Chain A
Amino acid sequence: MTIKIDKPGMLTSLQDLGRYTYQQYGVIVNGAMDPFAHTAANLLVGNPEGEATLEVTLTGPKLTFGIDTYIAICGADLTPSLNEKPIENWRTISVKQGDVLEFGKCKWGCRAYIAVAGGFDTKREMGSKSTYLRAGIGGYKGRALKEGDTLSVCTDGHSFHPISINWFVSHELRAVYSNKNTIRAVKGRHFELFTKDSQTAFFNEGFKISTQSDRMGYRAEGNALQLEEQREILSEPVLFGTVQVPSEGKPIILMADRQTTGGYPKIAQAAYVDLPKLAQAKPGDSIVFQEISDEEAQINYIIQKIQLNYLKTGIGLKNRER
């Protein structure tokens, strides 16, 4: 009932949709960088969306299955193969005991999510299976996977037995991904404190993702953004996708492992539905922010959740109870 890690890949860790209710104590939310790909992978193997998946970064791991099961890989295309035969992302895949899953070249994106039917058998710490790397809690021993680790799979009471697996997540649903990297965003709370030039530059001129970017946040390089006058801001909460600007003028886009609060001025808030594009952006990639209204961002969020519910229902109908 285990999966053996033959090679760990660059950064492979267990993640779910995050650790909530502890932000008042400064405990970060954590969770998958690309919540859409994570959720889709879970749904494809009949798991609830909040189950943990393996988040794989750029260089994928090599895994040997000690169990017959179903898996799904969503997100970045890191050319996965099963027993050296190429397999596709966004599909349910049947694996047998002894099968070897490997990854090759990164063709597109940055982070892929591997879900296994039944989910990974690991304790929820403070309500979540997500690996909080900096604090060393959650996931597999609070750390990224290493060679020789073995992950247990939950098999109790799981009844995923699809009638056929000749189906996949439609391209329409995945359309959040494009190579243009336009990130829709709403004005942040401190937008008006920036100079007119900086306000215009933020929404019109592009930025490059710096090499100083990780699960906590991405530094964006471009025209330095300046406040009308230097001032200290009182620390207050930040969210996934909050764009804050330290005094040197380079925006920081906060990601899954963001701190709970920040003291730098917030120029914008990236739309939730475009976070997957950011999660799949690599250092050196370009992004352009496009302004939308708060209302539009919230409606897009609700539409995406409804689409995921359709996907969930569709997959449920293709499953048979044994």
Chain B
Amino acid sequence: MFQDINYFRFGEAGILMEFGHEVSEEINQQIHEISRWLNENPFDGFIETVPAYTTLTVLYDPMKFVHPEKSAFELAKNRIEMRIESMPKESASAGRVIRIPVCYGGDFGPDLRNVAKLNKLTEKEVIKIHTEKTCYVYMLGFAPGFPFLGGMSSEIAAPRLSSPRLSIPKGSVGIAGEQTGIYPIETPGGWQLIGRTPLELFRPDDNPPTLLEAGDQVEFYEITTEEYHSWEAEDDHQD
């Protein structure tokens, strides 16, 4: 079923599995299936998985694989291969659809103008295109609950900043290449910012601790500055 997996050493305690170079929802769903399977059926020394677009990284404890002739990497790789062979052949469950309100432009989206200019569009057109398509959560990474979303139209693609910003406000919605994503906490980062959402993406008291999970579908919709502030006030009230 998964014949084209390449295994690479990644640091002293990691194995990076590469499922080709092509970004597709189908391959990505396979990655999440294997990731779930390994977490539910861990081998001795298994620590955790970090799924990404076309890769799955498995972290393990090399001290569980000390052997006079074989490297810890070879032995851990072998355990992963055996686990994958024993996977049941079932199809991935369809992800949820989650709608996310965004206030675009202005102070909330300082790069909206630049993204429009780069693509010879008006700011309004960029917003229209960003809210039109349903996106797919390929992975969570970089910051707690940060979704890497695929499926955005290439008409509004924009490169990463050549030097990352030292601080990006929580809730900022950004674009990097043909990906779009949301910064759940204040952090440095290099994506071009087009707007901001009042939703909390990182929820440390919940399990899982994030609003979105890999495999979910996301739809953005536009809200006004007033709506943004009243949403925030409502959230504060609920706390």
Residues of A within 8 A of B (CB): 20-28, 125-126, 134-135, 137, 186, 189, 212, 216, 232, 234-237, 239-242, 246-248, 259-263, 269, 271-272, 294-295, 297-298, 300-302, 305
Contact = CB atoms under 8 A, between A and B. Distances in A.
Contact of B204 (A20, A135, A261): A135
Given A25-B208, A259-B187, A305-B63, A269 B141 contact: no
A263 B164 CA distance: 12
Contacts of A240: 11
Contact of A20 (B48, B52, B142, B144): B48
A110 B11 CA distance: 24
B59 A134 contact: no
Interface of B: 8-14, 16, 21, 23, 35, 39, 47-55, 57, 59, 62-63, 66, 71-73, 139-146, 148, 159-160, 162-164, 166, 176-177, 179, 184-188, 190, 202, 204, 208-210, 213-214
Given A134-B187, A248-B163, A259-B142, A237 B50 contact: yes
Contact of A135 (B51, B57, B202): B202
B87 to A, nearest CB: 18
Contact of B62 (A27, A234, A301): A301
A77 to B, nearest CB: 28
B187 to A, nearest CB: 6
Given A235-B148, A239-B10, A261-B50, A27 B23 contact: no
23 contacts: A23-B50, A26-B140, A26-B210, A28-B143, A126-B204, A189-B8, A216-B188, A232-B177, A234-B23, A234-B53, A235-B139, A235-B179, A237-B50, A237-B52, A237-B55, A259-B141, A259-B143, A261-B141, A295-B71, A297-B12, A301-B62, A302-B62, A302-B63
Contacts, number: 152
A242 B11 CA distance: 8
B47 A263 contact: no
A246 B14 contact: no
B52 A26 contact: no
Closest 8 CB pairs of A and B: A261-B141, A301-B12, A26-B140, A237-B50, A236-B52, A237-B57, A259-B142, A27-B144
B163 A298 contact: no
Contacts of B146: 26
Contact of B48 (A21, A235, A294): A21
Contacts of A239: 10-11, 14
B140 to A, nearest CB: 4
A311 to B, nearest CB: 15
A235 B209 CA distance: 21
A294 B209 contact: no
Contacts of A135: 144, 185, 202, 204
A247 B176 CA distance: 14
B8 A137 contact: no
A92 B99 CA distance: 56
Contacts of A242: 11
Given A237-B10, A237-B55, A302-B63, 18 more contacts: A23-B48, A24-B48, A24-B214, A26-B144, A125-B204, A212-B166, A234-B21, A236-B53, A237-B50, A240-B11, A246-B162, A259-B141, A261-B148, A263-B176, A263-B190, A272-B13, A295-B71, A301-B13
A280 to B, nearest CB: 20
Contact of A261 (B8, B139, B176): B139
B73 A294 contact: yes
A126 B144 CA distance: 12
Contacts of A234: 21, 23, 52-55
B22 to A, nearest CB: 10
